[in-house]
């Protein structure tokens, strides 16, 4: 009971960021629902995406202000769990929530596609940026670079020096959490179509990037699980009443190793299903083309004798 109801922290940077992100989205969502469907989304889809987005924000907030935030300064394995919540689970839900259209509407007037009931016209205002599927963000056109940057940010904070520094300095801890969040958004934007942006990277290539990321987490987890020496000296042994610091470090490796798998496997299965659908569609199109293409006469033509 003390763990559940005690050690809640009023992390003002996290609370302010949460209020701003949630309020910004709700303001744009209200305008989107009032103006009517756009970008091919119905009201039900907008509502479903809003739930996912705010669930992702809540996961990130609770990982920072709940007892998880306090225990992350005591136990290394809880620190690993916090990293997964802030850097993997939360950003994945926010990308699924596709908040970009709502963000755009919150700061600009609705485009003609909204005002005309979803039918695009050429009268869009100059203050509304073009976010059509044909124009993608810069980093979505460079998936390998974005995934490499995300992995560097995730793994870089697991080295002993920054890891211990973030425990004892609130400013460094804030930079760590912000880096996790940025890395998660970069990563999931390469894997998931987030309306109005659609993925152009083939599913198999995205699966390869997923497998590479899982391999990085596996190597990191194995280093911690099978390591026989303490790496993080910033966690005092006096605070560990149940396990030693080395056992805590090994458990943290298992959390990072296995904890990333559920989200990665779900997305990998979805990408595999997308690839199979594309293959079936391509085969069906090829079959229809063969049926509709006139066949040539197999007999050689002969000149007519007059």
Residue 10 CA, chain-centre distance (Å), reads 26
Q: Please check whether residue 306 lies inside any domain of the structure.
A: no
Of 106-120, 192-206, 255-269, where does mean pLDDT reach its minimum?
106-120
pLDDT value, residue 115? 47
Is 93 a domain residue?
yes
Cβ-contact 60, 83 below 8 angstroms: no
Q: Which domain holds residue 74?
A: 7-108+137-281
Please name which of 187, 207, 217, 194 lies closest in space to residue 273, comparing C-alpha atoms: 207
305 in a structural domain: no
Look at residue 183 and tell me if it is in a domain.
yes
Q: Express each pLDDT in 271-302 by its tens digit.
A: 998 888 876 655 555 554 555 666 555 555 55
**Structurally, how many domains does the chain consist of?**
1
Does residue 142 lie in a domain region?
yes
Residue 104 counted as domain residue:
yes
Structure tokens at 252: 């943290």
pLDDT in tens, 215-265: 999 999 999 999 889 899 888 776 677 788 899 999 999 999 999 999 999
Helix (H/G/I), strand (E/B), else coil: 197: strand
Domain-located, residue 228: yes
Give the mean pLDDT of 176-200: 90
Q: Nearest CA to 89 among 68, 115, 106?
A: 68
Tell me, yes or no, whether 268 lies in a domain: yes
pLDDT band at 137 (very low <50, low <70, confident <90, very high): low
Provide the pLDDT for residue 124: 40
């Amino acid at each position: 009971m003390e763990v559940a109801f005690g050690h809640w922290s009023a992390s003002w940077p996290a609370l302010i960021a949460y209020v701003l992100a949630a309020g910004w989205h709700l303001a744009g969502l209200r305008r989107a629902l009032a103006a009517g469907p756009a970008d091919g989304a119905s009201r039900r889809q907008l509502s479903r995406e809003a739930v996912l987005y705010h669930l992702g924000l809540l996961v990130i907030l609770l990982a920072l202000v709940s007892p998880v935030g306090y225990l992350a300064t005591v136990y290394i394995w809880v620190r690993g769990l916090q990293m997964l919540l802030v850097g993997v689970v939360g950003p994945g839900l926010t990308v699924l929530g596709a908040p970009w259209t709502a963000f755009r509407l919150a700061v600009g007037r609705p485009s003609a596609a909204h005002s005309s009931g979803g039918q695009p016209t050429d009268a869009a205002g100059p203050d509304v940026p073009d976010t059509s599927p044909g124009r993608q963000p810069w980093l979505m056109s460079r998936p390998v670079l974005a995934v490499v940057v995300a992995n560097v940010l995730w793994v870089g904070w697991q080295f002993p020096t920054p890891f211990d520094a973030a425990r004892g300095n609130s400013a460094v801890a804030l930079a760590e959490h912000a880096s996790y969040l940025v890395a998660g958004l970069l990563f999931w934007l390469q894997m998931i179509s987030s309306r109005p942006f659609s993925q152009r990277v083939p599913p198999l290539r995205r699966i390869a990037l997923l497998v590479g990321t899982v391999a990085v987490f596996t190597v990191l987890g194995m280093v911690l699980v099978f390591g026989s020496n303490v790496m993080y000296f910033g966690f005092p042994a006096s605070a560990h009443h149940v396990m030693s610091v080395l056992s805590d470090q090994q458990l943290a490796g298992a959390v990072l190793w296995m904890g990333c798998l559920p989200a990665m496997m779900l997305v990998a299965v979805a990408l595999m299903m997308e690839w199979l659908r594309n293959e079936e569609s391509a085969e069906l199109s090829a079959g229809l083309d063969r049926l509709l293409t006139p066949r040539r006469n197999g007999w050689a033509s002969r000149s007519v004798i007059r």
